[in-house]
Amino acid sequence: MKLTVVGGGSTYTPELIDGIAGRRTSLAVDEIVLVDPDEHRLSLIGPFSQRLLEHAGHSAKVRTTTSLEEGIEGASAVLLQLRVGGQKARASDETFPLTCGCVGQETTGAGGLAKALRTVPVVLDIADKVRRLAGPDTWIVNFTNPVGIVTRALLQEGHKAIGLCNVAITFQRWTSALLGVDPSTVELEHVGLNHLTWERGVYVDGVDRMPELLADHIEGLAKHIGIDGALMRRLNMVPSYYLNYFYNHDAVVKKQLTEPPRAEVVAAVEKELLDIYGDPSVVTKPEQLSQRGGAYYSEAAVQLVHALTGGAGAEKHVVNVQNNGSLPFLPDDAVIEVSSTVDANGGRALPVRPVEPSISGLISHVTAYEYLALEAAKHGGRDRVANALLAHPLIGQHAIADQLADELIAQNRDLLPWVKGN
């Protein structure tokens, strides 16, 4: 099997390679192609990835290329983990909304919209090439943020695509340690949209251990997620840490105004990682990689590709798939993040029990924003950008939406196809 990673120059690519090297599934990969426009990064990450595999006794060969066409031709599966504009664009996403008193974040709010506008056209172009050069049956696994919007763009154009995020598997691993059980025995009742999810149940051998978590581990949960324990008890569920941007918006903005943006922290970690990767004596994953983000990405991605390529039969995974009636208050073509059955035919959302009004309204609100965001990403136009911002629950005031729209376009002028050159 040829596995292609678009954005293979990312410093967390070794996470994926480590998952393959560790033989966590029987995924039969014999060729891994890392595609990236950055030759310097490829020159460090490619050889390091090969050393990881060889040290683990895995026979797969790693190739690197700056040519997308060469990289995807004949691929069995293509993983997307790209960042259009790099950390510089991320730094902009995390700072320009603050001038209007809005949260600065790369996957939600105005920053998240900016990332979607830059990313969707690039991803759709890549997907067209995958269809032409690898074949229409080649699976595209999207890890590129904002995952929900990008995955919906791919599905809307008829591509064989599925979205993946590491939030659920990270929570599964963390709670299994709290409960003292094997992670494989923990099944989450995970519901919502990408980066807007709640755990409504944590089942071990069919028994819901959520009451125990909320009773005995609430302080640890609150510290880990950053959300008040009393709120979690009142909701009777555990929100993802991304809900901080909604439940604690003003406090988050106040903190962001006094701290360096996450992009600066990540850039420093990346520099250190690249130095380590360039050391030919390093043959195992460095501890510093845990600071980069993307924890357990390798396990989730490898297991998912295994299921999609027919190697495992039907399996349960938390993925981003079309709604198709699972959440009856959303349109069928909305992309939701829930437990799904995954096999060679793709992912199908499992039935979801009725969703509480305490969260269904916010899910609906953000879904409406995502529809408008995708329209803006595909068709461009300043008014489409402003309309999407107006619909976002973290913005919602027309004067602020208009100001942010103008600033977003100014900050991304060279990265938006419909603005560039105008």
pLDDT at position 248 is 97
pLDDT greater than 90 at residue 43: yes
Determine the average pLDDT of the residues in 390-418.
Answer: 97
Report the mean per-residue pLDDT for the chain: 94
What pLDDT is attached to residue 140?
A: 98
For residue 368, CA distances in Å to 127, 173, 283, 333, 374 come to 25, 32, 47, 12, 10
pLDDT the model gives residue 317: 95
Q: Which residues are annotated as a binding site for Mn(2+)?
A: 165, 195
Q: Is the pLDDT of residue 420 over 80?
A: no
pLDDT of the residue at 293: 60
Model pLDDT for residues 104-127, shown as the tens digit of each residue: 999 999 999 999 999 999 999 999
Positions at the binding site = 90, 145, 165, 195
State the average pLDDT over residues 387-415.
Answer: 97
Q: Tell me the average pLDDT across 136-148.
A: 96
* Closest CA relative to residue 403, chosen from 95, 96, 90: 96
pLDDT in tens, 66-82: 999 999 999 999 999 99
The per-residue pLDDT for range 187-233, each reduced to its tens digit, is 999 999 999 999 999 999 999 999 999 999 999 999 999 999 999 99
The predicted pLDDT at position 421 comes to 62
Beta bridge partners of 224: none
Band (pLDDT 50/70/90 cuts) for residue 409 is very high
pLDDT of residue 25: 53
Residue 422 pLDDT class (50, 70, 90 cuts): low
Q: What is the pLDDT of residue 290?
A: 75
Residues in the annotated binding site for substrate = 90, 145
Q: How far is the C-alpha of 315 from the C-alpha of 342, rounded, in Å? A: 5
CA distance 339 to 319: 7
Closest CA relative to residue 246, chosen from 318, 166, 192, 172: 192
How many angstroms separate the CA atoms of 290 and 268, rounded?
13
Report residue 294's pLDDT band, with 50, 70 and 90 as the boundaries: low
Residue 369 annotated to the active site: no
332 falls in which pLDDT band (50, 70, 90)? very high
d(CA 86, CA 72): 22
Confidence of residue 310 (pLDDT cuts 50, 70, 90): confident
Over range 277-305, report the average pLDDT. Answer: 85
Considering the entire predicted model, what is its pTM?
0.96
Task: Work out the average pLDDT over 292-303.
Answer: 77
pLDDT value, residue 289: 84
Q: Model confidence at 26, in pLDDT bands (50, 70, 90)? A: low
Residue 322: strand pairing partners: 335
Q: What is the pLDDT of residues 338-397, one digit of tens each?
A: 999 999 999 999 999 999 999 999 999 999 999 999 999 999 999 999 999 999 999 999
- What the chain holds in terms of domains, given with CATH numbers, is 1-421 (3.90.1820.10)
List beta partners, residue 33: 4, 63
Q: What does the pLDDT average to over 87-97?
A: 96
SS3 for the chain, per residue? CEEEEECCCCCCHHHHHHHHHCCCCCCCCCEEEEECCCHHHHHHHHHHHHHHHHHCCCCCEEEEECCHHHHHCCCCEEEECCCCCHHHHHHHHCCHHHHHCCCCCCCCHHHHHHHHHHHHHHHHHHHHHHHHHCCCCCEEEECCCCHHHHHHHHHHCCCCEEECCCHHHHHHHHHHHHHCCCHHHEEEEEEEECCEEEEEEEEECCEECHHHHHHHCHHHHHHHHCCCHHHHHHHCCEECHHHHHHHCHHHHHHHHCCCCCHHHHHHHHHHHHHHHHCCCCCCCCCHHHHHCCCCCHHHHHHHHHHHHCCCCCCEEEEEEEECCCCCCCCCCCCEEEEEEEEECCEEEECCCCCCCHHHHHHHHHHHHHHHHHHHHHHHCCHHHHHHHHHHCCCCCCHHHHHHHHHHHHHHCCCCCCCCCCC
pLDDT at 292 over 70: no
Identify the burial level of 314 via C-beta atoms within 10 angstroms of its C-beta, where 0-12 means exposed, 13-18 middle and 19 or more buried.
exposed
Indicate which residue of 203, 241, 242, 245 is catalytic. 242
Tokens of 237: 């569920």
* Residue percentage of the chain with pLDDT more than 90: 89
